[in-house]
Chain A
Amino acid sequence: MADTHKPASPPSPEAPNPDIDAYAHEAELETHLQTKRMYVNMGPSHPAMHGTVRMKVELEGENIAESDCEIGFLHRGFQKSCENVTWTQCLPYTDRLNYVSAMMNNFGFLNAVEKLIGLEIPERAQYIRVIGSELHRIHDHLTCVGATGMELGGFAPFLFAVEARELIMDRVAELTGARLTTNFGRIGGMNRDLPEGWIEKVHKTLDKVMELVTEIDGLLTRNRIFVDRTKDTGVISAEDAIDYGWTGPCLRACGINYDIRKAKPYWVYDRFDFDIPIGERGDNFDRYLMRIEEMKQSERILRQALKTIPGGPIILDDWRIALPPKPEVYGTIEGVISHFKLVMEGIQVPAGEVYDATEAANGELGWYMVSDGGGRPYKVHVRAPGYPILSAVPSIIKGKMLADLIPTFDTINMIGGEVEQ
């Protein structure tokens, strides 16, 4: 450890001696305060930061001289696990990448596999995927905004966010049977159809949720403390953000208009009317505003999708991809064989490779997959949006105050599951 302190003047024999000279202490008033670099370990689980991560911070006074970000505390071998199970069995693992917007990860994985096989899924399934994704986008942003408010001292916005999340989670539970990790999609379509009366319920839920979002917006956006602590902190320039590979709301806060839903529309996103909010300064406050605005845009998409959702099948009628219906399994030999082959060997994905990306809550969720033609993935690479964003944190907080680390860490919304795979 380098002690940077050098005494202003080394003690010399003529220096006043406090033992014999009563006025010797007056000299201390003239000298500089003793300063040296202090090392602070934040985390792995630090109460001021949501997420399991360790920041080794070297402080000079209150400013961050150096910092090192250590991740890997949640690593569970996502890629290795996927390479040893069938394509369908990967689905529960994908949910756990981002545990506050499970459906988006799930559908992103499916989208890439379907592209690799060359499937076009039924229209109704595409609508259900849009609805599920946008519900979970609101859910994810609520978590981030609420936690940001709480970690900067406002507890009420967090409670409102939790209440709104609870409403969404109830709808998700009715839809999928699970609250957080839904495992809802299947290759070629969806697991099951919308429950009866669910669409009206979602409309009502959205009314209430948006009311709460407006409440959070009102409590935070003009709050003096919140604005002072987030504005002009954690600033990153647009060039740097691109260079680091930022995507999603964090990149758009720098003024770059890049959203995969608009740039390369997938599913039925091109049929809906919505805007992409763009920021200016790339600071924490802009990143917070992006999320508030995106929730409002997600609501617009949801309302349109719920109104225009068509009827029809929700999964392909192809027994090489989807499990046959139970009467066929129990009644016909073809059904039994298909069921057995799908369960034991998995879906046979033709050999080849694909890179496909969807717009998850935090940005571009990319999947690179290599298939060797068998029922199991040869290689599954996930490009989690949080990983490049987190890698830029040590550089954007260098030289800034320790207190600025907290809002910066909040608004980039690091999710341990996806960053640490």
Chain B
Amino acid sequence: MDRVTAQFPEAVAERYLDRTGGAWAVIHAEHLPKVAAFLKNELDFKLFTSIDAVDRLHLAENDPRFEVVYFIYSLSRHEHVRLKVRVSEANPELPSITPIFKGANWWERFVWDFYGIRFTGHPDLRRVLLYEEFQGHPLRKDYAMRDRQPLIPERPIKDIFRGPGTSGVS
């Protein structure tokens, strides 16, 4: 983290070493790809672990609302690092790091699916666990636990062959 701060002093907003020993830093969104590439290529943080977001709606400090957390691991030093990027509710958008880490692809889709945070430059930003017609983003704190979704009509599937017989094709 010291080297990241030395390299990009303008990118790092806050730095912490929390009481469980985890090192993390809050990065400004526009510098994220640069910092991620630096961590991967220069500091050997190559193993891409995961991404998730925290909806800070009910926390004491809740502006901006979302915090996207990146977990990266160094195989040579056995060290975890967490990058955090804060995103506002009005414009939930971040640069994608899929070109840097291939593994980010599905995790960014996950965050889009459940929090509604868009990643610009992502090759294939679709929902990953829920269906396309799902309304809302269920891991946001203001999505009610017992919310229900409307039924959707059967999706037409192109080129489907339902078996022999004239009634097979619907």
Given contacts A1-B159, A245-B50, A381-B50, contact A115 B20 (CB under 8 A): yes
Closest-CB distance, B104 to chain A (whole angstroms): 9
Interface assignment of B138: CB less than 8 Å from any CB of chain A: yes
Chain A interface: which of B5-13, B28-36, B74-82, B148-156? B74-82
Compute how far the CA of A75 lies from the CA of B113 in the bound complex, rounded to whole angstroms.
12
Q: Could you tell me which residues of chain B, from 7 to 54, have a CB within 8 Å of some CB in chain A?
A: 18-20, 22, 46-50, 52, 54
Interface assignment of A267: CB less than 8 Å from any CB of chain B: no
Given contacts A84-B145, A378-B59, contact A243 B71 (CB under 8 A): no
Interface assignment of A208: CB less than 8 Å from any CB of chain B: no
- Among residues of B, the one whose C-beta sits closest to the C-beta of A355 is B22
Asked if A388 and B48 sit within 8 Å, CB to CB, the answer is: yes
- A66-99 contact mask (Cβ, 8 Å, vs B): 1 or 0: 0000011001010110001000000000000000
The B interface, classified by DSSP as helix, strand, loop or mixed, is loop
Compute how far the CA of A79 lies from the CA of B11 in the bound complex, rounded to whole angstroms.
31
Asked if B71 and A242 sit within 8 Å, CB to CB, the answer is: no
- Among residues of B, the one whose C-beta sits closest to the C-beta of A354 is B20
Asked if A79 and B49 sit within 8 Å, CB to CB, the answer is: no
Pick from A79, A245, A372, A420: contact of B47, CB below 8 A.
Answer: A245
- Among residues of A, the one whose C-beta sits closest to the C-beta of B101 is A243
Compute how far the CA of A200 lies from the CA of B117 in the bound complex, rounded to whole angstroms.
54
Q: Could you tell me which residues of chain A, from 95 to 125, have a CB within 8 Å of some CB in chain B?
A: 115-116, 118
Given contacts A80-B138, A355-B71, contact A75 B22 (CB under 8 A): no
Q: Is the interface on chain A under 10, 10 to 19, 20 to 34, or 35 or more residues?
A: 35 or more
Max count, chain B CB within 10 A of own CB: residue among A39, A242, A383: A242
Residues in B whose Cβ lies below 8 Å from that of A84: 145
Pick from A72, A242, A354, A391: contact of B129, CB below 8 A.
Answer: A72
Residues in B whose Cβ lies below 8 Å from that of A158: none
Residues in B whose Cβ lies below 8 Å from that of A244: 48, 102-103
Max count, chain A CB within 10 A of own CB: residue among B46, B50, B78, B114: B50
Closest-CB distance, B33 to chain A (whole angstroms): 15
- Among residues of B, the one whose C-beta sits closest to the C-beta of A73 is B129
Asked if B105 and A391 sit within 8 Å, CB to CB, the answer is: yes
Chain B interface: which of A20-28, A279-287, A319-327, A363-371? A363-371
- Among residues of B, the one whose C-beta sits closest to the C-beta of A72 is B129
Asked if B75 and A245 sit within 8 Å, CB to CB, the answer is: no
Asked if A370 and B54 sit within 8 Å, CB to CB, the answer is: yes
Asked if B18 and A364 sit within 8 Å, CB to CB, the answer is: no
Asked if B58 and A378 sit within 8 Å, CB to CB, the answer is: yes
Residues in B whose Cβ lies below 8 Å from that of A364: 49
Closest-CB distance, B70 to chain A (whole angstroms): 11
Interface assignment of B125: CB less than 8 Å from any CB of chain A: no
Interface assignment of A379: CB less than 8 Å from any CB of chain B: yes
Compute how far the CA of A372 lies from the CA of B55 in the bound complex, rounded to whole angstroms.
12
Compute how far the CA of A39 lies from the CA of B71 in the bound complex, rounded to whole angstroms.
37
Given contacts A1-B158, A352-B19, A355-B80, contact A420 B129 (CB under 8 A): yes
- A273-303 contact mask (Cβ, 8 Å, vs B): 1 or 0: 0000000000000000000000000000000
Interface assignment of A359: CB less than 8 Å from any CB of chain B: no
Interface assignment of A256: CB less than 8 Å from any CB of chain B: yes
Compute how far the CA of A391 lies from the CA of B106 in the bound complex, rounded to whole angstroms.
6
Pick from A245, A379, A381: contact of B103, CB below 8 A.
Answer: A245
Residues in B whose Cβ lies below 8 Å from that of A392: 102-103
Residues in A whose Cβ lies below 8 Å from that of B46: 242-243
Pick from A264, A352, A383: contact of B20, CB below 8 A.
Answer: A352
Pick from A264, A354, A381: contact of B22, CB below 8 A.
Answer: A354
Residues in B whose Cβ lies below 8 Å from that of A166: none
What are the 8 tightest A-B residue pairs by CB atom distance, in nearest-first order?
A245-B103, A72-B129, A391-B106, A381-B52, A383-B50, A244-B103, A245-B48, A354-B20
Contact residues of B with A, CB < 8 Å?
Answer: 18-20, 22, 46-50, 52, 54-55, 58-59, 69, 71, 75, 78, 80, 82, 101-103, 105-107, 114, 127-131, 138-139, 145, 158-159
17 further interface pairs, Cβ-Cβ under 8 Å (given A118-B20, A242-B75, A368-B52): A77-B138, A79-B139, A243-B48, A244-B103, A245-B47, A264-B78, A352-B18, A352-B19, A353-B18, A354-B18, A355-B80, A355-B82, A366-B50, A368-B50, A372-B59, A381-B69, A387-B107
